[in-house]
Amino acid sequence: MRFMGAERVEQAAESCAALLRTVVGEDWENTKAGGLEWSCRFTATHIASDFIGYASNLAGRAQSSYVPFDITVDGAEDGLYRADNAGLIHVVTTMGALFAATLRTTPREVRAFHPYPFRSANRDGFAAMGIAEALLHTHDIAQGFGVPYEAPAELAEYVLTTIFPAVQPGPAPWPTLLWATGRGELPGRARVTDWRWSNNLVLPTEHLTLEGVTPAAAADLQAGGDGGFDWVEDGPFDGTRAASGMMVKAYEAGVHRPEFGVYVLVRREDGRAIGGMGFHGSPDGDGRVEVGYDLAESARGRGHATQALRALAEWALAREDVTSVFATIERDNLPSQAVVGRSGFTLVSEAGEQGEMLAYERRG
């Protein structure tokens, strides 16, 4: 799956600029942007500020806070720095170009600070957030001036499948994104009054990183792609593709909880993906959640699965809604039984008609 974030940011910046050019002669300073308290001028400046702010966090590898700066659009009406409406459109497209250039030069494994919800985002997440800011606030500005605006469907879909993993797909991506952000209605769904986007969860271990899979990446893995990861030669294994397919079904049904989805195991030493691990769904009414995993054959026998399973189980059991993590393993799969044993699981029962499956559990 080729990274398309930079190209899509450029598309979003141009989509915004195209709308702004249609109202370039209007009074931006004294017109409110849709349902916001901001003026249309402030809203356009905000789009530009988001572009360069996200670029700065990625380029500076910020880890604990935003890079502490802001942009100021010069208000002079003459001289070299003319900041009339046309000048502000130029600022938006320029900041979009700088953001796209940063995305193109940021390695896949880099994560930088963003507060919600897990304190970091990768380049896909930052790209999707920047696109969302541009499209949604362009919509707000268009509403302020009473002119129509419809964002490109592929951009809205990119945003939804990257940072809105818990939002069930609707009849079309753009109306769904408007609904998900409290800006529109969808038949059969209650209006949204409070919303947040959600970047993927990452769990670090000594030798591995467990990277949460987005719906976009899961769909690509299910279809035979790489999900945007750099896999070892014999990966991904069949189980990872099957689990990704299950996650896609849950997403399409509107029951997917992203933190209880699929994780790809990435080696720290070289950034190569070696396997998948994740949950079969959300915790049940008793707080029990099932976990499964697989590794590419070339990565087995090195303790990777044990390290990853310990980390995932400990993360789950630290939550208030999880009381136990269990796994079912074939009776003749001795290596996998050893993995769960080393990870703190104990044998609790036999399963299957002939007792061919063993159930293991780890409790909080």
Please report, for the domain that includes residue 339, its CATH number: 3.40.630.30
Dihedral Cα 129, 134, 137, 138, nearest 10 deg: -160
d(CA 174, CA 158): 10
The answer to whether residue 195 is domain-embedded is no
Question: Is 216 part of any domain?
Answer: yes
The whole-number pLDDT of residue 83 equals 82
| Domain final residue pick, 127, 150, 180 | 180
Same domain, 142 and 258: no
- pTM value is 0.95
Q: Which amino acid is at 276?
A: G
Same domain, 58 and 94: yes
Residues 262 and 346 in one domain: yes
Q: Is 308 found in the same domain as 208?
A: yes
pLDDT at 345 over 90: yes
What DSSP element (H or E) covers 208?
strand 208-212
| CB contact at 8 A, 91 and 103 | no
Q: 78: domain range? A: 5-180
Residue whose entry in the numeric block shows the structure tokens 């087995």: 300
- The domain boundary residue, chosen from 115, 145, 180: 180
Give dist(CA 46, CA 48) in Å, integer: 5
Q: Is residue 186 part of a domain?
A: no
Total residues found in the chain within this entry: 364
- Alpha-helix runs per DSSP H in the chain: 5-22, 40-59, 85-105, 123-145, 153-163, 173-180, 215-222, 238-253, 304-317, 334-342
Instruction: Select from 305, 230, 244, 307 the least CA-distant residue to 279.
Output: 244
Residues 133 and 277 in one domain: no
What percentage of the chain reaches a pLDDT higher than 70?
97
Q: Would you say residue 352 has pLDDT above 90? A: no
Mean pLDDT, residues 31-43: 97
Comparing CA positions, the residue from 350, 346, 340 lying closest to residue 361 is 346
pLDDT for residue 269 is more than 90: yes
Report the percentage of the chain scoring pLDDT > 90. 93
151 and 238 co-located in one domain: no
| pLDDT for 320 | 96
Query: Residue 334: CB partners within 8 Å, gap ≥ 6?
Result: none
Q: β-strand 202-204 against 208-212: which pairing, if any? A: antiparallel
pLDDT > 80? residue 253: yes
Cβ neighbours for 270, distance < 8 A, ≥ 6 positions apart: none
